[in-house]
Structure 1
Amino acid sequence: MESKSKYIPLKELDIYQLSRKLSSKAWNIYQRLDYHLRKNWGDQMISSIDSVGANIAEGYARFHFLDRIKFYYIARASLSESVEHWIDLGLERKIVLQEEFEEIYSISKNLQIKLNRQIKTSYDAKKQV
């Protein structure tokens, strides 16, 4: 009986695609900032949003389940920092437009649900070994 691989390349993984979509939306905001706003708000905002995808990529490449899950937890925490703090603060300070906020918030909620599912799936796979 031939075994079919269940491996999905990183770029085809839903959570990674959503993280890249978030990074793209954040980059659009970052590009229009002047030097002062980039240094005081934008650099931290873009770093935290980009770290979501970076941690998903690193976790996905890990062999051990608990190691993988640790990076997914870090990605989820970075997602919260990015949207619940930096993007919300940007909206409050009128750096982020309402339409941008709503789009980013929608993507982030979807990503959060899928990240939670990925964490559960990883725990379930560990139990089967």
Structure 2
Amino acid sequence: MERTKFEELQVYQLAEKLADKIWNIVEEWNQFSKDTVGKQIVRAADSIGANIAEGNGRYSFQDNQRFVKIARGSLYETRHWLRRAYVRHLLTNEQVNKLKPIIDELSPKLNAYLNYLESAAKKQSTKHNEKNNQQPTTNN
């Protein structure tokens, strides 16, 4: 089964972009904010890309799907922490306006990637079943 390198996946590249932008923002916060919200949001954002990468390195489409679902959960967690940071006046409107388009693009791309993996898993399963159901012919 041939796979595309995860670094070439648009969904992975967006995850990296989001994580790097969040890192750069959090770096400027005071120590208390970094230790509380900052560490949580950076871990959640980094986890998106990490899970896409790990899933891509797994043997089966089903394993890959599981890690993409975890990545999606990490994106939701990132959204949570961004909301908390905004409410606590750690994020400016300008920063939110830079992050929002990335998140708005990343979310459907994660779902599309998951749908692709589900479709690929079904095709693989169908091919496997067809192969196993072929009965050898005998000469009588």
Q: Post-superposition shift, 1:6?
A: 6.2
C-alpha separation between the residues in 2 aligned to 1:106 and 1:17?
14
Which one of 82, 86, 94 corresponds to residue 91 of structure 1?
86
Q: Which runs of 4+ in 1 moved over 4 A?
A: none
Normalised by the length of structure 1, the TM-score is 0.90
Displacement of 1:76 in angstroms is 0.4
Match of 2:48 in 1: 52
Secondary structure at the residue paired with 1:107? helix
Which of the residues 26, 30, 52 maps onto 1:34? Answer: 30
**Number of residue equivalences:** 124
Residue in 2 that maps onto 1:18:
14
Residue 88 of structure 1: how far off its partner (Å) = 1.2
Task: Report the counterpart of residue 43 of structure 1 in structure 2.
Answer: 39
* Among candidates 70, 77, 81, match of residue 77 of structure 2: 81
Pick one of 4, 8, 22 that aligns with 1:8: 4
- Which piece of structure 1 moves more, 118-127 or 97-106? 97-106
- AA matched with 2:11: I
Over aligned residues, Cα RMSD in angstroms?
A: 1.4
Is the contact made by 1:88 and 1:101 (CA closer than 8 Å) also made in structure 2? no
CA contact under 8 A between 1:26 and 1:49: conserved in structure 2?
Answer: yes
Report percent identity of matched pairs. 35
Q: Distance in 1 between matches of 2:3 and 2:123?
A: 17
**What amino acid is aligned across from residue 48 of structure 1 in structure 2?**
A
Distance, in Å, in 2 between the alignment partners of 1:77 and 1:63 is 22
